[in-house]
A and B are shown apart, each in its own frame.
Chain A
Amino acid sequence: MKFSPLRRALVATASVAAVALTLAGCSGFGSTGGNSGAKVTITYLTGNDAADTAQGKALIAGFEKKYPNVHVKMDTQPTGTQGDNLMKTKLSTKTMDNVFHYNSGSLFQALNPKTSMVDLSGESWVSDLDKNFKQVVSVDGKIYGAPLGTGSAGGILYNKKIYQQLGLSIPTTWDEFIANSKKIQSSDPSVTPILQSFGDTWTSQLLVLGDFANINKQDPNWAKNYTNNTGGAKYVNQPAFEGFQHTAEIVADGLVNKDYASMTNAQAMDALATGKAAQYPMLTSAMATVQQDEPDKINDIGVFPIPSPDAKYTSLTLWEPNALYIASTTTGDKLQAAKNFVAFANSPQGCTIQNQTGAAAGPYATSACKLPSNAPDFIKDVQNYIKEDKASPALEFLSPIKGPNLETILIAVGSQSTTATVGAQQYDQDVKAQAQQLGIKGW
């Protein structure tokens, strides 16, 4: 039997099409499952670090006990910029888990919540939420996220024992902070005055991001101007430039640890807790490491705001908690199960689990959860600054724009391969790229 070339081509095309149709048919059968009464399986995505996975497992165990006919499968993925990218890819290819755990604020905004997530405004736990938190998980007045864990603060974590021994007082200006650091260095050269830990690249950003409460105190319209590209609210200009200057200054003055280029966040927290180092610009959420590794030393560490050049502006920068979201691909029984899971996390039982597993780093964003009575002392420091009205949210909760290269630029500044001015210029350029990508007016 002989085939002509054209006929051969058609036969081949037809067989390819037949295979494709069969495959399509298979996947069609797969998605029609979940009759009511049968066991429903939903998936939950969280970070792959020890704290997130432990919390995820505990929440699932508690939830499955309460809802025996729902099974929750946990998936994990890396956090940081790699995780940001995975989130976007999974949401846009509609392969996201039913429930996922992610940042609130600008990173949440970058996920295009209106099309990719389920509107949760009508859920019962919404009435318990703190009003600041509602803002950072909302788009056009609709709420898409429920808090998981506590908020935290970004400031200078310090070893109280070293401060006591040397008779130092908590600095309220940047110059006092540098003077303290020099005193620490001269009294015992083996103690690192200020830790930097570029082994975990994100940690390089603290002196800039954690300075935002000070900027906000000086110019309450800064965030708005920054978002709208008006009024010279740029990092090359003061007051925002001071964060870049500070990052360069502590290295130029020789006040940081020698192994700053390779030290990791966990190693730095360990050095701080054991008194090998005195001060560390960091988020209070990193205290989870100390709680895990050296629980008896947790009350040796306190926190104060990153000092502004002028004492009257010095205030503490606050981070809102991360949140749970439901992907818009979730429907039917799975959607109900997913909503129950989110509600469970914010129920009294869920709060107990949160207190037991996730180390508290600041206040809760929902009145449904209360801090345990034995909460470590540094949380009281944070609460005092909030009470005295010397605290305000970080820029990422007031503006949707955060340039993706900030950590890299600050490592270049903090290891003296770029000057503070050039770094600030590069970051302004980076911010512009992000604003254009988000389609914000005025850029």
Chain B
Amino acid sequence: MTTASVTIDPAAPTRTPRRSKSDRRGIRSPYPSWFYIPAGVLYLIFFAIPTFSSFYFALTRWTLFSQTFIGFGNFVQFFQTPALTQGFVNTFIYGFVTSAAKVVIGLALALLLTGATFGRGYLRAVVFFPVLVSTVGVGLTFKALLNPFHGVVNQVLGFFHLPQPGWYTDPHLALLTVAGVDIWKGVGIATLIFMAGIVAIPSEYFEAARVDGAGSWNVFRNITLPLARPAMATVIILSLIGRLRSFDLIWAMTNGGPGFSSDVIASVIYKQYQAGFFGLSTAGNVILFLVVTAIMLPVQWFLNRREAEL
């Protein structure tokens, strides 16, 4: 410590002018720059190093005890994984179905809850509540409710002599059931973002439109919808990124089953990791990273461009 201060002190005056130069460029910050170090160290240790080492481990056969360099063998093998195509298709179905539903339902709820509704505060809390509950807890609860034989839902359906589908045991239905639960759980956050977007619209616009004789539909179509577009972009981007990588709810409810019928890329990768194929699952994660980036960059560009045009 002492040696450090002795050697460094003389350097201090020579550094000062450079700092004032940067002040002139207008990037002066109220905090000293070494405040960045704790966050920087954490970022380096927990994000940058793992991310870049994963690009290396993706090229190895890795047992945690030892690794062998095998070039692109893992990538070749990853694309031969049973039912991988189905995993990709399911990922897109899951991502787009849940995002679209959250936009539609979230917007509808936001309109309802920003209007003069009876019990508005209570209803806002109710809509947001599922967001606060643990995803795994939600998954297990719905698994019990939707049990094809002993679940409450099917018993009620049976009471009214309606068909009792095998919600998560029917291979054709399992993915959509999980998507439905995901929408129930995630729509609160979409509603919240839409509400913020709608409340931020200046009330003069609505008043002017009403004076011009616009009905509710016209107000919604020509004022609320276009001006809530930034909120919509946020909802779509957040939901789509989240769902393309998502895994927790699917794992809690179906483990990707029955068979491979509700597998998404993330659960395929997790199963490989679970089997001890560490190199292979790392390669899968690199591919997932590339796929999510390849989808999200154009989507984000498209949504932001539309926003700029307004």
Contacts and interface: CB of A to CB of B under 8 A. Distances in A.
Given A7-B5, A92-B64, A437-B63, A408 B259 contact: yes
Given A5-B33, A112-B63, A85 B274 contact: yes
Contact of B275 (A8, A81, A116, A429): A81
A404 B271 contact: yes
Contact of A437 (B8, B261, B277): B277
A88 interface: yes
A417 B37 CA distance: 54
A219 to B, nearest CB: 26
Contacts of B61: 436-437, 439
A412 B274 contact: no
B8 A261 contact: no
A6 B82 contact: no
A347 interface: no
B66 to A, nearest CB: 9
A190 to B, nearest CB: 15
A2 B258 contact: no
Contacts of B171: 412, 415, 417
A2 B271 CA distance: 55
Nearest to A427: B82
Interface string B8-19: 110110011001
B274 A404 contact: yes
A261 B262 CA distance: 14
Most chain B C-beta atoms within 10 Å of own C-beta, residue among A5, A88, A112: A5
B135 interface: no
A405 B8 contact: no
B8 to A, nearest CB: 4
B115 interface: no
Contacts of B258: 198, 261, 411-412, 415, 417
B83 A426 contact: yes
B82 A262 contact: no
A112 B65 contact: yes
B257 A201 contact: yes
Most buried by A among B19, B260, B273: B260
Interface residues of B, number: 48
B280 interface: yes
A388 B8 CA distance: 87
Interface in A1-15: 2-14
A415 B19 CA distance: 70
Given A14-B1, A81-B274, A261 B68 contact: no
A287 to B, nearest CB: 24
A238 interface: no
B307 interface: no
A76 to B, nearest CB: 19
Contacts of B186: none
Nearest to A261: B169
A404 B170 contact: no
A115 B15 contact: no
Contacts, number: 135
Tell me which of A92, A201, A434, A436 has the highest count of chain B C-beta atoms within 10 A of its own C-beta: A436
B261 A417 contact: yes
A289 B260 CA distance: 29
Contacts of A261: 148, 166, 169-170, 258
Contact of B68 (A82, A89, A92, A439): A439
A430 B82 contact: yes
A78 to B, nearest CB: 11
Contacts of B4: 7, 10-11, 14
A259 B149 contact: yes
Most buried by B among A88, A417, A439: A417
Contacts of A225: none
Contact of A6 (B1, B15, B73, B147): B15
Contacts of A9: 34, 37
B41 interface: yes
A409 interface: yes
B255 interface: yes
A139 interface: no
Contacts of A417: 171, 258-261
B37 A405 contact: no
Contacts of B276: 84-85, 88, 110, 404, 437
Contacts of B284: none
Interface in B244-293: 255-261, 271, 273-277, 280
Contact of A411 (B11, B149, B259): B259
22 contacts: A4-B9, A4-B11, A4-B12, A5-B19, A5-B33, A5-B34, A8-B34, A9-B37, A10-B8, A11-B4, A13-B37, A262-B147, A262-B149, A262-B166, A404-B277, A408-B259, A408-B260, A411-B258, A411-B259, A418-B259, A429-B80, A433-B277
What are the 3 tightest A-B residue pairs by CB atom distance, in nearest-first order? A412-B259, A261-B169, A404-B275
Interface of B: 1, 4-5, 8-9, 11-12, 15-16, 19, 32-34, 37-38, 41, 61, 63-65, 68, 73, 77, 80-83, 147-149, 166, 169-171, 255-261, 271, 273-277, 280
Given A4-B15, A262-B148, 20 more contacts: A2-B12, A5-B19, A6-B15, A7-B11, A8-B33, A11-B1, A81-B274, A84-B274, A84-B276, A110-B276, A261-B258, A404-B271, A408-B271, A409-B82, A411-B259, A412-B258, A412-B260, A417-B171, A436-B61, A437-B61
Interface of A: 2-14, 16, 81-82, 84-85, 88-89, 92, 110, 112, 115-116, 198, 201, 259, 261-262, 404-405, 408-409, 411-413, 415, 417-418, 426, 429-430, 433-434, 436-437, 439
